Amino acid sequence: MKKHIIISMAVAVGLVALTGCQKQPGVPGPAEKAGAAVDKAAQDTREAAKNTASSVKDATDKAVNKAGAALEEAGENMQKE
């Protein structure tokens, strides 16, 4: 009799464990959630790098134009003297 109770309890615990551990349809598992977070972080990093590169290019263009204007003005001043 004790064997039947123990076996029944073991089967019940096993069924509960299997039911609780099965992947639910449409619900991402922990690895899928982690993968999605890594993908988002990579995308955010890529976008930040593009924005930074664009900002650096704009700042460089401004500096070059300002330096060019200063050189032009210096050349004009030299010609006046």
Q: Residue 41: inside a domain, yes or no? A: yes
For position 6, what pLDDT does the model report? 77
pLDDT tens-digit readout, 38-73: 999 999 999 999 999 999 999 999 999 999 999 999
51 lies in which domain range? Answer: 31-81
- Cβ neighbours around 73 below 10 Å, total: 10
3-state secondary structure of 7: helix
Q: Residue 11: inside a domain, yes or no? A: no
pLDDT band at 23 (very low <50, low <70, confident <90, very high): low
Q: Residue 21: inside a domain, yes or no? A: no
Q: Residue 57: inside a domain, yes or no? A: yes
Half-sphere exposure of 8 (CA within 13 A, CB side): 5
Please say if the pLDDT value at position 22 is more than 60.
no
Q: Residue 52: inside a domain, yes or no? A: yes
Q: Residue 17: inside a domain, yes or no? A: no
Q: Residue 68: inside a domain, yes or no? A: yes
Q: Domain count for the chain, please give it.
A: 1
Which DSSP letter does residue 26 get?
T
Q: Residue 56: inside a domain, yes or no? A: yes
